[in-house]
Chains A and B, each alone.
Chain A
Amino acid sequence: MDAEAAKLLGAGIAMGVGALGPGIGLGMLLGKAYESIARQPEVAGDIRTNMFIGIGVTEAVALYAFVVALILIFVA
């Protein structure tokens, strides 16, 4: 396996594995958030705001993987 192929493979694996965790995390986050909204619709606005904060923080993990993949392809 030459270096180019290893880079591409590494990028793909980084993105795929890196998306796993945040995917599960986002699912749990959104599920809990909607559950809370269903239980207490009167504080839906607050829950939604906090949900977006949580989404931003969780999603960042997947995006780090994305950046690592980019670095592997274009920089490394």
Chain B
Amino acid sequence: MLVPEPGLMIWTLITFGVAVLVLTLLAFKPLQKALDARRQSIQDSVDAAEEARAEALRLLEEYKATLARVRGESDEILERSRTTAEHAKAEILAEAKAQSERVLERAHEQIERDTRAALRDIKGQIAELTALATEKVAAASLSAADQQRLIDEALAELDVESLGAEGRA
């Protein structure tokens, strides 16, 4: 078991030397290269992700700021439009009221004018009729029956006109 076997040492050195060469050239170097490449790619993607995150955060901040500004603005606009609308409403209402009052006024004036014109007209007609009746009475010798008829006629005529005039006044 413990017999000296120096020849075996030579064989060991040869095989071990071959193993070192083969492993170094075929396994270790390519493996190290592959591992380095993977580490590099992972590092790169981590860096890229970090960058993207920072970018996203920056954008988010920006959007938040913009959103706050826009919200304030929109509130302001809404407020302004509301006040404007209220103003407009009040104005329109006032305008409408004024207009309706004006129309009413004008209508009243018209009626007054019409009434006055109608009265004037009636008065003229009454005078004419009276004159006509007087003429008729004066022109013919009137019988009692005629006289009565004429008076009734005149009265009937007058009655309608005056009633209409009175109702309007």
Q: Do chains A and B touch in the complex (CB under 8 A)?
A: yes
Closest to B1 in A: A74
A64 to chain B, nearest CB (A): 14
Q: In the complex, A75 Cα to B2 Cα: how many Å?
A: 7
Q: Which of B1-47 contact A (CB under 8 A)?
A: 1-2
Residues of B within 8 A of A74 (CB): 1-2
As a 0/1 sequence over residues 39 to 55 of chain A, the CB contacts with chain B under 8 angstroms (1 = contact) are: 00000000000000000
As a 0/1 sequence over residues 87 to 104 of chain B, the CB contacts with chain A under 8 angstroms (1 = contact) are: 000000000000000000
Residues of A within 8 A of B1 (CB): 70, 74
Q: In the complex, A30 Cα to B148 Cα: how many Å?
A: 159
Q: In the complex, A71 Cα to B1 Cα: how many Å?
A: 9
A residues with CB within 8 A of B: 70-71, 74-75
User: Can you list 6 contacts pairing A with B, beta carbon distance less than 8 Å?
Assistant: A70-B1, A70-B2, A71-B2, A74-B1, A74-B2, A75-B2
